[in-house]
Structure 1
Amino acid sequence: MVLELHEVDPTPEPDNSTIYTAATPPETVITDDLPGDHRPATPTIASSIPCPSSTFIIRSVATSHVLTLLGGAVILASPGGPGNIHWQCVEAKGWLGFRDPCSGKYLGHNVKGNLVCDAGGHEGWERFCIRAVPEGGFVMLMTHWERLWGVAVWVEEGVRKLRKAGDGASEGEVWEFVKV
């Protein structure tokens, strides 16, 4: 056996190959601390799109108070107080409606335009159209003959009450629907 010795050039040959290594972490982490993120530091309640066969808490975006049935009156009150704040969403003939699960009565308006919860069925004055607004949230529009009226808040003797107000969405309160 004959061994031949060759002199090795100490200068390495240039590497002309290209290798790309992805910088993908082993897991994806999402944080609230995104650059340029201007959300409030306090957590907010996530709003859902109202849909039939679900129950919701209906919350005013402006005041954080919730639609409450208290002693037969429909008012806007602080969460956690007395009264019923759960509303079952139903559908009839394409219209949404909201029923108090305790009494079985439907949210609607009376002849004066005030919100009431005393109807035994989901008829003409208990029909709602829920429309998203660009800033977030929804307006609740109620039928009155051939028109849609926004639901607005007004204060009487220190109590926040609700009524249909104005023709169309421009005059209505903005709401969030929190699914329970």
Structure 2
Amino acid sequence: MIMRPGQPLLLPANPLFIWGSLLAALGLNMMLNMGAAGRAAWVPDLLALALVFWNVHQPLRIGVGVAFAFGLAMDVHLGALLGQHALAYTAMSFLAVTMHRRLLWFPVGAQTLQVLPLFAAAQVLELLVRLMAGHGLPGWSILLGPLLETLLWPLANVLLLAPQRRAHDPDDNRPL
């Protein structure tokens, strides 16, 4: 693959780090949902953020099936309608895998504008499933969740790509 000028060369992603970050995001999601905010509509979905990140950067390792399994785990944890998060995560992951090649050509700032529709689509799918199940509208605060997830995208890029970054000073033993 041809790299953009100025893009650093990355080491291969460690599968243990990928799965550890996804499990950590699941744990953080569970803690946020049990905390003082409860299951507030404005709380960012950190698991969705991690899934989209790894779908974009490692689409062959983390795909739609993984998103479905984590969605079922979130449904069971929240006591939500079984399949609500699974459907949203699956659709979001499918769209992320579909656009991953194009998305990686943009700088992180431009990527944030392109992942916003992914997070918004997942939120809309969850809302539609809730409405079909007979729940009411959560209010305008539902718009803050995808916005906060989008604002966390640059931080996720820094944190989750940190173990893959190569040293910048080449020497005789390390030419790249």
Q: Please say whether Structure 1 and Structure 2 have the same fold, judged by a TM-score greater than 0.5.
A: no
Task: Name the structure, 1 or 2, with higher relative contact order (CA <8 Å, separation 6+).
Answer: 2
TM-score by length of 2: 0.28
Q: Give the number of the structure whose residues are more often strand, by fraction.
A: 1
TM-score normalised to structure 1 length:
0.27
Query: Greater CA radius of gyration, 1 or 2?
Result: 1
Q: Between Structure 1 and Structure 2, which shows a larger proportion of helix residues?
A: 2
